[in-house]
Amino acid sequence: MQYLHTMVRISDIDDSLDFYCNKLGMVEISRREEEAGRFTLIFLAAPEDAERAREDKAPMIELTWNWDPEELDGGRNFGHLAYRVQDIYALCRSLMDAGVTINRPPRDGRMAFVRSPDGVSIELLQKGDPLPEQEPWKSMENIGTW
């Protein structure tokens, strides 16, 4: 058995790609529009997984946009997506500067949570050992749910 991808339904392609690619740093690997089924599939990978995703079609996240409007609520019913990052403080600062709410700040230098435009919970985990605790993260409270 081999992990391939996680599918997440999205309500707006532009908002979702802005979040996942421009803000979170993921890379678009492929896109497919299915006129008969009235949906678009966009496959993304973390930068360090991009080459493997192109070769093996894994590991990826599949963003599914259904052309007919639908109500997307929750997003936590499956849990969360998790990504290992080089510098959790730098990424969280970059996300905050881009207007993303840090729902669970990296107080411990190891873990943070944010949410996509459609409410999907995303866990960010520091690569290797936790970074030394530092402000402003150490004093930040949780915001909303994660």
Give the residue numbers annotated as catalytic, written as ranges: 123
Judge contact between 123 and 113, C-beta under 8 A: yes
**What is the widest separation between alpha-carbon atoms in the chain?**
52
Look at the alpha carbons of 15, 17, 20, 24 in this order and tell me if their dihedral is positive or negative.
negative
Tokens 């520091």 found at: 126
